[in-house]
Amino acid sequence: MSVRPIHIAVLDTDVPCYPVYARRGLYSSQFKFLLTAAADRINASEYHQSRGPLSVHITAFDVVGGSFPHLESLRVSRWLPTENRPPGFPGPVDAILVTGAAAAVYDNLHWIAGLQSFIERVYANYPMVKIFGSCFGHQLIAQALLASDKGYTCQGSSFKISVEPSSDGHEIGMHPITLNPAFVSNFPPLARFTPEQPLHIQIIHGDAVISSPEDTPLPERKGTMLPEPWLNIGSSLKCPIQGLYKPGQVLTFQGHFEFDAFATAELCHQFARQFQWPEDLLASYLENIRRSVVPGKDDDDSKTAAEAVLLFFAGEDCTSSADINPSSLSNIKYQLYAVLLHTMTGSNPRSTNA
């Protein structure tokens, strides 16, 4: 079978804190390592035997410095096994990946407006190009594609999407994420995750994508409603919207499948110095991170998350070419569960991201 090459443009929006950078390089380099390893696992898996093998090519762009992929380099038609490309040429860009950053998407920084405009343009004019974001990238994509003053109506309810400081404060370390069955059904690697067996990946953020009924005060903004055909991928106790999914076009994670306990702890130390966190608060976050480390085992489910992202880039999410109804029974059950999950949360002020 023909090899399916996947050309991913990684938009670096920050430089990792020095201990992580010294060991692993830029975020684009870290994603290259993880997604290449994910391709090897997928190619060896039983569920992928009927498909051609996947290969990964990464091109990195320093968007803070104003570097973006040329629009002429983006894919405009579906990949075919007969696609002709010269040796050594990675082919058109199949996917855009927006990394994490310490900035907030609503900060008045010179590069954020240009990045948001680029994402809007790719989404509107290049539907063959997949868009993925991690943490800051997740929030930036939500702000670019879903945030609107006009609001939305779904299932008889009016609501707005925004990116704001989380009223529950920072979410740091390992927090169980209950995945939406309507999302899980599109990705074979995720089939083992249920409400009883949630997903675990590293998390470090203080802002969140908020879905709120109109005219609702901040502490009650804990909805999971999204306009059709978008899906919320899942919820944690502190963060109702842990990611966004529009089949075949957009996928985002609030968490970091590219982080492990080491990377999260180092970034936590940096945030503590930068924002003058009290020692007891830092200690509580570090303890939560430390608990995720099990000698001889993977810290989390980042490998599985990476496989799902790569299948999305390859156009192998199960409904990427079909219509999906997010008000299906499984999605309604999930939304009811998410509402119950968030009746227990409190409030706390503003935050930082990664």
Q: Is 181 within the bounds of a domain?
A: yes
Q: Which amino acid is at 168?
A: D
Q: Is 162 within the bounds of a domain?
A: yes
pLDDT value at residue 221: 54
Q: Is 349 within the bounds of a domain?
A: no
- What is the distance of C-alpha 8 from the center of its chain? 15
CA distance 166 to 104: 12
pLDDT along the chain (354 residues), means of 10: 93 98 98 98 89 95 98 96 83 98 97 98 99 99 92 85 93 96 96 95 96 68 86 96 98 97 96 94 95 85 98 86 43 47 42 64
pLDDT value at residue 151: 87
Q: Is 333 within the bounds of a domain?
A: yes
Q: Kindly provide the b/e burial profile for residues 76-111, where b requires at least 16 CB atoms within 10 angstroms of the residue's own CB.
A: eeebeeeeeeeeeebbbbbbbbbbbbbbbbbeeeee
CA distance 163 to 105: 8
- What is the distance of C-alpha 44 from the center of its chain? 25
Work out how many domains the chain is built from and give that number. Answer: 1
pLDDT value at residue 319: 63
CA distance 132 to 244: 9
Q: The domain containing residue 153 runs over which residues? A: 4-344
Q: Is 11 within the bounds of a domain?
A: yes
Report helix, strand and coil shares of the chain as percent, to nearest 5.
35, 20, 45
Model's pTM, two decimal places? 0.89
- 60 closest CA partner among 101, 12, 15, 13: 12
Q: How many CB atoms lie within 10 A of CB 3?
A: 11
Q: Is 352 within the bounds of a domain?
A: no
pLDDT value at residue 215: 62
Q: Is 354 within the bounds of a domain?
A: no
- 58 closest CA partner among 111, 25, 97: 97
CATH number at residue 59: 3.40.50.880
Q: Is 351 within the bounds of a domain?
A: no
Indicate the SS3 state at residue 43: helix
* Range list of H helices, 45-93: none
